[in-house]
Amino acid sequence: ATKAWLKIVRDYPNDGESLVSAGVILGAQERDDQVTPLLERALAAGLEGELLGQALFARGLIYVREERPEEAYDAFERAEPTLDPDSQLVARQNRIAMLQELGRAEEALALELEREPVSAEDFYNRGLAQVKAGKYGECIESIGRALQMAPDEANSHYTLACAHALSGHRKEALASIAPAIE
């Protein structure tokens, strides 16, 4: 697929869809030195809609790998409204992660709280944002809901153990870490 898209880019060097598609494929392979020029050309071409979102999202991933969280946050924020619903959720979670990386845990939590959790993963993500913002009691509640839905999720047990430990509840922390290890 990579060779085919690169051939299309050679044949149609100003086609935005080809540039984005080749960039996304190369980005998945972490070939950032090749991706960046393609995405820059695509973005300069005046993309719109979901194609713009895909290009911005791919650019955000490169910024993450380059350890440029502020630029990554901006790219994901710009991409989010143009993407399909599933990709919007991923862009939002990436924005939250970048805020946490930047030490802006309260902003990350506020962004997380804008959306009502419905799945175990949603409750886990909420709990993770809460523990990073120092809201240990709220984290324990959210992770408890996640574990009701998915009792074998190691990351949920680990996050619960962290929240208990940070709250000074040693016994609960130790009891929560055992299932994470198992």
pLDDT in tens, the chain (182 residues): 888 888 999 999 888 999 999 999 999 899 888 899 999 999 998 899 999 999 999 999 999 999 999 999 999 999 999 999 999 999 999 999 999 999 999 999 999 999 999 999 999 999 999 999 999 999 999 999 999 999 999 999 999 999 999 999 999 999 999 999 99
* Distance separating alpha carbons of residues 105 and 179, to the nearest angstrom: 27
| CB count in 10 Å sphere of residue 39 | 25
Tokens of 53: 């979102």
Instruction: Please name which of 26, 72, 80, 21 lies closest in space to residue 53, comparing C-alpha atoms.
Output: 80
* Distance separating alpha carbons of residues 45 and 34, to the nearest angstrom: 18
pTM: 0.85
Can you give the pLDDT at residue 161?
96
Can you give the pLDDT at residue 14?
86
Tokens of 65: 């790998």
Helices 85-101 & 120-132, crossing angle to 10 degrees?
20
* Distance separating alpha carbons of residues 146 and 54, to the nearest angstrom: 30
Can you give the pLDDT at residue 45?
85
Instruction: Please name which of 7, 62, 15, 14 lies closest in space to residue 36, comparing C-alpha atoms.
Output: 62
